[in-house]
Structure 1
């Protein structure tokens, strides 16, 4: 079973000529990891200068130009613990 090498927020670059003439320019950001399908690990990726997501196979990613972020150890948190993960300014209620 293949394992997801990248996670949400990682920046990737495709191998050259993977998508032929519709090859996106620049790097892409992983939006989410998709469930494994037919033995292939896939990701939802949004590339620079595009306003839509693409489904990209892990085999199509250039591993030398793309590197996954280092994962933080369990229990480590970038937050100081005083603020909540909920942003009260983003909550909208119906009137």
Structure 2
């Protein structure tokens, strides 16, 4: 999951998929519609979406000839909780280092 989110293009794709879901007039996010909004080929978009799908961050559903992508909010929420926990751990570690440096 973290490897999938490490790439800036995939993070942007995740944002665009979420925007497409929120905008009813835009319709569902497809590789073609996403490629129109990024300076990346459609084939590259498909590969990035496959990584996001494998990480559980988006879901792909075939509708006729199209594959439509939606965000999986449950996985996004779990990821946010994990990142928050990691941030708290690092804050505690850095505070301990600071205290040790100031006491020296």
Same fold (TM over 0.5): no
Bigger-Rg structure (1/2): 2
Could you state the TM-score of these two structures normalised by the residue count of structure 1?
Answer: 0.26
Structure (1/2) with the larger strand percentage: 1
